[in-house]
Amino acid sequence: MVAKIIDGKAVAQHVRAQCREETAALKARGVTPGLAVIIVGDNPASKVYVANKVKACTEVGLHSTVYAFAADTPDAEVEAKILALNADPLVHGILVQLPLPKHFDAKRVLAAISVDKDVDGFHLYNVGALAQGETVFPPCTPYGVSKMLEYENIPIEGQNVVVVGASNIVGKPMAMMLMQRDATVCICHAKTRDLAQFTILADILVVAAGVPNLILPQMVRTGAVVIDVGINRLPDGRLVGDVDFEGVRQKASYISPVPGGVGPMTITMLVHNTIQAARRQAELAEG
């Protein structure tokens, strides 16, 4: 068996076309969805992601503004900017690019974002709502994975899902979202003892551990769907995921590549969430 490659760029284009239509409809009502992006420090990867977020907004017709702060900026200054953006009616979505420099209390900074503008879905209220199956803004990366599965008509209900990696950004919300869809979900870690005994059971394997070549072909059930969320820059400059792509491809039924898999979906779902935020705020304002 050779897996079908899930082309994240193609799925992203499909979702972005819908986003364009929704944005045009909102603009016709006098509302241009607006995103504010806060970046602190000089992390080169973060700068690229922020630039790509701005580009995606422009492409779909959203307004976006970047607020860049030096790494040694006091927490209070960043929080003051967030409070000002919370009160700005032209800003519908706010995000703080992660990771923040070490001295920041990231939880506190994220909690300053208005729940209604929390398009990353990282505010504790939205995290709690997700646990109850009622979230308004699902976190962008796991939301993107869900859309990729939906696009390929991959069933979730009743499937064995193994998520490797329990981060707040990907692993935990991914597990919650798939559990909500009646999958049987197991969360593992890169350090799980005999990881293969769990991964081999997966009908759908989502890997977000940040360890290159963590998942080898012998750890994957024949016919499994394998979604690679890892982003690892190798010493030779190559970007790879957490899965031995060429090896696992020979066993899986579907596989997402890195680059060109989940990454483009993360940014697309951010645009989608910002449009939903604008629509909800417009509806509230209209009464």
Ligand X SMILES: Nc1nc2c(c(=O)[nH]1)N[C@@H](CN(C=O)c1ccc(C(=O)N[C@@H](CCC(=O)O)C(=O)O)cc1)CN2
* Catalytic residue ranges: 53, 97, 120
259 binds ligand X (CB under 6 A): yes
140 binds ligand X (CB under 6 A): yes
Q: Where in 144-173 is the site for ligand X (CB under 6 A)?
A: 169
101 binds ligand X (CB under 6 A): no
Which CB, 130 or 140, lies closer to ligand X? Answer: 140
Residue with nearest beta carbon to ligand X: 263
Beta carbon of residue 165, minimum distance to ligand X (angstroms, whole number): 13
Each residue 219-248 as x (binds ligand X by CB under 6 A) or -, in order, gives: ------------x-------x---------
Strand partners for 40: 69
Q: Which two tokens stand for residue 153?
A: 């008509």
Has 165 been labeled as part of a binding site? yes
| Binding window for ligand X (CB under 6 A); candidates: 79-87, 186-194, 198-206, 264-272 | 264-272
141 binds ligand X (CB under 6 A): yes
Has 41 been labeled as part of a binding site? no
CA distance 141 to 241: 14
| Binding window for ligand X (CB under 6 A); candidates: 56-64, 195-203, 256-264, 276-284 | 256-264
Beta carbon of residue 188, minimum distance to ligand X (angstroms, whole number): 20
Among 64, 240, 264, 279, binds ligand X (CB under 6 A): 264
Q: Which two tokens stand for residue 140?
A: 């962008």
| Cβ neighbours of residue 212 closer than 8 Å, sequence gap 6 or more | 230, 232, 234, 240, 241, 242
Strands (E), the chain: 4-5, 34-40, 63-69, 93-96, 160-164, 184-188, 204-207, 225-228, 232-233, 239-240, 254-255
Among 250, 260, 280, 282, binds ligand X (CB under 6 A): 260
48 binds ligand X (CB under 6 A): yes
Amino acid letter for position 193: R
> How many residues bind to ligand X according to rule CB under 6 A?
19
263 binds ligand X (CB under 6 A): yes
| Binding window for ligand X (CB under 6 A); candidates: 17-25, 68-76, 185-193, 254-262 | 254-262
The residue among 95, 101, 1 whose CA lies nearest residue 43 is: 101
Cα torsion angle, 204, 183, 208, 138, sign: positive
- Tell me phi and psi for residue 187, to 5 degrees: -105, 125
Beta carbon of residue 271, minimum distance to ligand X (angstroms, whole number): 12
- Would you say 225 and 253 are in contact if contact means Cβ atoms under 8 Å apart? yes
Beta carbon of residue 126, minimum distance to ligand X (angstroms, whole number): 13
- Would you say 239 and 231 are in contact if contact means Cβ atoms under 8 Å apart? yes
| Cβ neighbours of residue 94 closer than 8 Å, sequence gap 6 or more | 35, 36, 38, 82, 85, 86, 113, 114, 117, 118, 119
The residue among 13, 5, 55, 58 whose CA lies nearest residue 259 is: 5
Q: Where in 266-285 is the site for ligand X (CB under 6 A)?
A: 266-267
List residues forming the annotated binding site for NADP(+): 165-167, 231
Enumerate binding residues for ligand X (CB under 6 A).
48-49, 95-98, 120, 140-141, 169, 231, 239, 258-260, 263-264, 266-267
